[in-house]
Amino acid sequence: MIVAAPYFDATAPGQYAAAEPPFLLENGLTVQPGSPAQCRGVDPTRLPGVPAQVAADMKNPANAYFSYADLNGNPRPGSVGCWDLGAYQH
């Protein structure tokens, strides 16, 4: 969960004004076999301090896509299993 999202002004000097659009990365940020990012993530509903209603909303099937699937729609393992760090599940 991002509590305070980072901010940047894309038009300011030194703020990635010439960076490639994210869609050009395609799957360039996926976790590779043998990566130390494999199995290092956690189910966000199990983090300490997450209010019960927030956890329930994340588990709600209508919202589960955002918590229990990666950016490609691949399912995360749920409450049991191995979550990868980042936006993609290996």
Q: What is the pLDDT of residues 26-85, one digit of tens each?
A: 778 888 889 999 999 888 888 899 999 998 988 888 877 777 888 888 888 876 778 898
User: How many other β-carbons are positioned within 10 Å of the β-carbon of residue 48?
Assistant: 4
- How far, CA to CA in Å, does 78 sit from each of 11, 19, 65? 39, 34, 11
Beta bridge partners of 75: 69
Q: Where are the domains of the chain?
A: 37-90
Q: Does the predicted TM-score (pTM) go above 0.75?
A: no
pLDDT at 17: 66
Cα torsion for 84, 58, 22, 83, to the nearest 10°? Answer: 0
Let me know: does 66 contact 57? Beta carbons within 8 Å. Answer: no
